[in-house]
Structure formats: C-alpha cells, structure tokens
Amino acid sequence: MPNVNWPEAIKPLLKKYKQTKHPLEYKNVYQLLVMVVLSAQDADKHINQIASKFFTTFPNMEALSQATPEAIQEQISDVRNFGNKSKWLAALSEIVKKDKNIPLTLDELTALPGIGRKSANVIKRESGASAEGIIVDLHVVRVAPRLGIATGADPKKIEKQLMDILPQQQWDAGMAISFLGREICRPTPKCEVCLMNTVCAYYKNNK
C-alpha cells in the first residue's frame, strides 16, 4: 500500500482511542513513573496487581528515595528483572527526591535510570505533556509493519518512520496502534472487524 495518505488514514484510529488511558492503573505521576519502570518486559495487569502494596510501603518519591534497593526488591520480587528494577528505582528516586521534581521532557526522563524512549513517551502522554516522540511498544512493533505504515522490527527505527510520516499533533498514534494491537490486531488478527482494514497492507495481501 505505497500510496496511503497516512495522516488522513490514521484519523479514525486516533479518534477511537483519543481518550483511552494507558492500562496501568496509576493515580498520579509518581505512581505512573514507578509502574512504567516495573512494567518493562512484564505485563501491565501483573504490575496493577502488586501496585497497591508497593505504594502503601512507598507512598511517594520521598519515601522511595530513602529505601535501599533491597527494601524495594522485597516488594517486587515476582516482577521480571526485579534485581535491576529495584536498583533503577533506588537510583532514580535519589536523583528526583520529590514528586514535584519529576521531569516531563524526553531528555530528562531518558537520563533517569531504567527509563528508555518508550517509557518516557508513555509518561509524557499520560501526564498530558506534549509529545516529543511516539510510543513504540511490542504491539506497535507487530502492528505498524502489518498496516504498512512502517517496516522492520527495531522500535527506534519504527518510531523514526512514524515521526517522519505523521505530523506532531498525530504522534499519539503510537498508543492508538498499541490499543489496536491489544484488542484487534492480535498475533492472530481479527481483520474483519478492524477499522483500519481499508488501508492495511496485511489485510490486502491476505484476504
């Protein structure tokens, strides 16, 4: 589908998911940041399950900044890669110290331990900061090449392709494509009910 006008074609998808909150059940930016770090290579649903106990122990950045990596590790011992994540959270909280100091620019967020571009983009989106990049998670890595809006499997390259194709005001497309991947464009996609099937390369080639 080389001739798709993507800024136009993506509009129904953006409209559908515009108000949809990320599946992580956070209550403020501090909780969001911690849960985003914990959710890397783990399931959002799992992180939601352990969150309330974690935030009872560490209710804010100040409390977290006084904890040792070992104390943090006790709370997240069944989270994937918990050893590194407890070190990252301890180091990150020492830098930030208070909730009000949590940065919301891409450069400042990615300078913190345990936060890459995808995590920073999620934190920016959910906190209402203007987009500096596009969220590319494992769902986007699967769905964007299927649609034909991007190629390859490298998240950074896919993000750059999307940023080149779409104007900045449409950069929430990453999260919209992610929701499409969670709900419709699963590993076995439900193409017949997909609102993007009129422009989708995969659908065109497989129907």
Residue 15: Cβ-neighbour burial (10 angstroms; 0-12, 13-18, 19+): exposed
For residues 46 and 121, membership in a common domain is answered with: yes
Per-residue pLDDT of the chain (207 residues; tens, 9 = 90+): 458 999 999 999 999 999 899 999 999 999 999 999 999 999 999 999 999 999 999 999 999 999 999 999 999 999 999 999 999 999 999 999 999 999 999 999 999 999 999 999 999 999 999 999 999 999 999 999 999 999 999 999 999 999 999 999 999 999 999 999 999 999 999 999 999 999 999 999 997
Position 24 in a domain: no
Position 1 in a domain: no
Nearest to 140 by CA among 116, 126, 157, 165: 157
For residues 145 and 168, membership in a common domain is answered with: yes
Domain of 53, CATH number, reads 1.10.340.30
Report phi then psi at 154, rounded to 5: -90, 115
Question: Which residues contact residue 39 at a Cβ distance below 8 angstroms, ignoring those fewer than 6 apart?
Answer: 24, 47
Rg (alpha carbons) of the chain, rounded to whole number: 18
Tokens of 196: 């993007």
Tokens of 20: 């949809």
